[in-house]
Amino acid sequence: MDDRLIEENLALVRSVAARFAGLAEPDDLFQVGAIGLIKAAHAYDPAFGTRFSTYAFPAIAGEIMHFLRSSRENAAGSDACAELIPSNDDTEEEAINRAEISELMSTLDGNERRLIELRFFRSLTQKETARLMNVSQPYVSRAEKRILDKLRRLGAQEYASK
């Protein structure tokens, strides 16, 4: 029964791994998620009264989050967006939100990403951001509005496709 559960739920692993896209290589996320699926299949008892996919989801996500935390600890401080990687204190929903934000951030070009990192992850003012980027404060204001609109559109499209 374990093998059948695993084979029938590999798409669930792909789906969960996709929520963490941009935080690690897709193949790594899938492989780590598959480990979570295998663990869930071995521990699952239909007497729990839940569908296997409902039972397996947190095991898969948890295994991926553990992998990402380990990766973060090994590369601490290497990325301004390192805080997007789930931490021990995250709930499952927070971890998924972080993964979705990271996925959206990966769609930005270098300057757009830097502006958002400075403004929202480092909490700098528009004036401080402008100084660091060697642009005017009004430029930062206009660019920020444009980038946030872009992220909202992309986020809405992503949400609608799920």
The CATH number of 107-162 is 1.10.10
pLDDT tens-digit readout, 78-110: 454 555 555 555 566 666 666 677 777 878 888
Token digits for 139?
């430029």
Rounded-to-integer distance, Cα 10 and Cα 3, Å: 11
Please state the domain extents for the chain.
Answer: 1-84, 107-162
Minimum mean pLDDT among 31-40, 90-99, 117-126, 130-139: which range?
90-99
pLDDT 10s digits, 43-81: 888 887 888 888 888 889 888 888 887 776 555 444 545
- Rounded to 10°, the helix 52-74/92-105 angle is 60
Return the pLDDT at 120.
Answer: 81
Annotation: CATH topology of 1-84: Four Helix Bundle (Hemerythrin (Met), subunit A) (1.20.120)
Average pLDDT over residues 14-28: 85
Q: What is the largest CA-CA distance in the chain?
A: 63
Pairwise pLDDT comparison (68 vs 34), residue with the higher score: 34
Mean pLDDT value across residues 28-34: 93
Q: Does 33 score more than 80 pLDDT?
A: yes
- pLDDT of the residue at 137: 94
